[in-house]
Homo-oligomer: A and B are copies of this chain.
């Protein structure tokens, strides 16, 4: 059994929806065990959750994009990971990431590139969505990877959409495929 942790912060609940869909995608793959770890509103996780990350084969990072970057709570988690960094405890683990915001672009690429930078400092291996975008004239938000990201998963929740309303079908299906992709890489490509 390979272990995959999804560690994320959500401000209002939309990013939690994405995290749950990523977990659902991981669960589609046999011989892989997912764990969901939620960073609280102070930017903290428990010691047990840190240990869970330490024993995982892969870590998926998740955060909303606020003001062009991951939330401060996610950043506090990243800053606290500096002890693991100093000892290179996470070296050779697989890493991936996702982010949600109200705007189609909204500088989400910026958040993903920070997550990549963080993973590189930890000497992890980074994987993206492995998904081609839906980008022809007929494409709509109900299609796979319509937001259109490669380096990590991007989803969009409109500014006036309640937690039960967004992200919608296309983004949620994309989130599952992303989770499945991470699980297959960990199980099938890594020793």
Contacts and interface: CB of A to CB of B under 8 A. Distances in A.
Given A75-B71, A102-B135, A109-B107, A116 B116 contact: yes
Given A133-B103, A185-B92, A120 B158 contact: no
Interface residues of A, number: 67
A45 B108 CA distance: 27
B189 A114 contact: no
Q: Is the interface of A mostly helix, strand, loop or mixed?
A: loop
A154 B130 CA distance: 24
Contacts of A117: 68-69, 107, 110, 150-151
A127 interface: yes
B82 A67 contact: yes
Contacts of A136: 102, 158-161
Contacts of A125: 125-127, 185, 189
A78 B82 contact: no
Contacts of A73: 72
